[in-house]
Structure 1
């Protein structure tokens, strides 16, 4: 018999003798035959779909062991690059707070896919989605059946200021009967917007008033399928970390700015670089309407990263790249002379890779703030402050 010591990056428990076991928590015991005997941190999963549903991988962990997993993911990634840094207590989002998710539908099924599979788990309960979004699942399933869905599609759900925002990819129902059904569904369930995209771009079928998302206290026009931080609590934690990192900087460069999650929360002149035109236009319009000193530029930072000379014009830099990290931008960041850099990441491994380049360039990781907004998943986010 061997004690489970920790949970690895993909969610399996690691025993003292090196063996791995699925659905094991720290403190469990792994027998010689591979049976897992529950320990003090092994809780009863709240959802009937666990562990089949791929929306969650770690519902068997209690909060103490799950927060330890989130922090450990970051520490292990840093250690793999020969780095270490002060890791702050984890900011963990509560259950039922996810405000955006992508579900899948096919042949009367609607839900997340099974772990490491394309099989759809027909969602009948969910402990991570906002109740307002989960309440749409059953009626949306019925609507898609009524509309004659005959192929697999993606269903993007998000909570906007005005209510639920729905985008369907891969299906664009036609005809008067379909239009009436969509209108009746949206009216009955308080949908803020219903859009479809059959491969040529989103087409809005229902939007009684312009859909916005409030960022930094400012309503921003929200394009269909726009990126949002997964929970409000997660956004608040990341924004607070960025504000602390940039401090009293008078000029800030916000790279991969999106809709302006960070740019609109900073009391500074902000240059905002973003490659998605729809997000950039929304940020520009919101900033102009409120008279905020934000200067957006359409810029693909993978093809045309900021140079050292460009970066040196600012007091601080904020960067929030996709999961692939910011390899193309990191060399210039490492060489620039700004006072501080706030690095927001949704992938500890690529963050640690980029951080190594920064440290070799003379920077130090002042602190790392872990954020667990994808509760019970192996997906970990963070914000870190770099100083010279």
Structure 2
């Protein structure tokens, strides 16, 4: 027999004899026949769909061990690059706070896909979605049946300032009966917007008033399907970390600025670069309406990263790249003279890779703040402060 010491990145438990076991928590006992005997950190999963549903992989971990997993993911990624840094206690979002999710619908079922499969698990309960979004699941299932959905469609749900925002891609019902059914559904269930996308781009079928999301206390136009931090609690944690890392800076560059999660929360002059034109226009209009010193540029930072000379103009830099990281931009960051950097990442591995290139050029990782927005999943986010 052996003892489970930790949970590896894919979610399986790792024992002290090197064996791996699925659905094991630190402190569990692993027998010679691979039976997992629950220990003090192994909880009863709250959802009936676990572990079939791919929305969660770690519901068997209690609060302490899940927070430890979030932190360990980052420590392991840094160690893999030969790096170390002070890692703060993880901030984990509570259950039922996810305000953004993509479900899948086909032939009378609606939910997340099964773990490691394309099969859709028909969602009858959920312990991660915000109640306002979960309340739409059963009505949407009935709506798709009424509209005759025959092939698979993706259903993007976002909780906006005005209520649930729905984008259905891969299905665009036509005709008067479909239009009446959609209108009745949206009116009855207080949907803020309902868009469909048959491959030509989102088309709004219902939007009684412009849909917004409040960032930094400012309403920003929310394009259909836009990126948004998964929970408000996670967003608050990341914003607080970025504000701390850039405190006192008079001028800040916000790279991969998106809708302005950080640009609109900073008390500085901000240059915001973003490749998605619709997101950038929303940020620009919101900043202009409040007369904030935010200067925007539509710029593909993969094809045209800021040069060293451009970066040297700022007192601090914020970067929040996609999961692939920012290898091209990191090379210029490593060589620039800007004294401080706030790096926000949804992938500890690519963060560690980019950070290594900077540390080799004289940067130091002052601290890392782990953030677990995707509760009970293996997906981990972070904000790090680097300085010269």
1:51 CA displacement: 0.3
Aligned to 2:169: 169
Structure 1: which 5+ residue stretches go unaligned? Answer: none
Aligned to 2:91: 91
Q: 2:352 & 2:333 partners in 1: Cα distance? A: 14
Q: Secondary structure at the match of 1:314?
A: coil
Aligned to 1:136: 136
Aligned to 1:159: 159
1:305 CA displacement: 0.3
1:219-230 correspondence to structure 2 within 5 Å: 219-230=219-230
Asked if residue 341 in structure 1 is aligned to residue 341 in structure 2, the reply is: yes
Q: Secondary structure at the match of 1:297?
A: strand
1:308 CA displacement: 0.2
1:350 CA displacement: 0.4
1:339 CA displacement: 1.8
1:164 CA displacement: 0.3
Q: Secondary structure at the match of 1:84?
A: coil
Deviation digits for residues 181-235 of structure 1 (CA, Å, limit 9, x no counterpart): 0010001101000000000000000001100000000000000001100000000
Deviation digits for residues 320-351 of structure 1 (CA, Å, limit 9, x no counterpart): 00000000100100111112000000000000
1:262-277 correspondence to structure 2 within 5 Å: 262-277=262-277
Deviation digits for residues 265-320 of structure 1 (CA, Å, limit 9, x no counterpart): 00111110000010011011111111011111010000000000000000000000
Q: TM-score w.r.t. structure 1 length?
A: 1.00
Q: 2:207 & 2:292 partners in 1: Cα distance? A: 27
Q: 1:179 & 1:367 partners in 2: Cα distance? A: 53
Q: 2:132 & 2:305 partners in 1: Cα distance? A: 40
Q: 2:171 & 2:278 partners in 1: Cα distance? A: 22
The number of equivalent residue pairs is 388
Aligned to 1:81: 81
Deviation digits for residues 4-56 of structure 1 (CA, Å, limit 9, x no counterpart): 00000000000000000000000000000010000000000000000000000
1:116 CA displacement: 1.0
Aligned to 1:57: 57
Q: Secondary structure at the match of 2:70?
A: helix
Aligned to 1:306: 306
Runs of 4+ in 1 over 4 A off after TM superposition: none
Structure 2: which 5+ residue stretches go unaligned? Answer: none
Q: 1:175 & 1:78 partners in 2: Cα distance? A: 55
Q: 1:369 & 1:157 partners in 2: Cα distance? A: 28
1:223-262 correspondence to structure 2 within 5 Å: 223-262=223-262
Aligned to 1:106: 106
Aligned to 1:196: 196
Q: 1:207 & 1:339 partners in 2: Cα distance? A: 45
Q: Secondary structure at the match of 1:75?
A: helix
Q: TM-score w.r.t. structure 2 length?
A: 1.00
Q: 2:358 & 2:120 partners in 1: Cα distance? A: 42
Q: 2:254 & 2:262 partners in 1: Cα distance? A: 7
Q: 2:52 & 2:264 partners in 1: Cα distance? A: 40
1:10-49 correspondence to structure 2 within 5 Å: 10-49=10-49
Q: 1:279 & 1:367 partners in 2: Cα distance? A: 30
Aligned to 1:5: 5
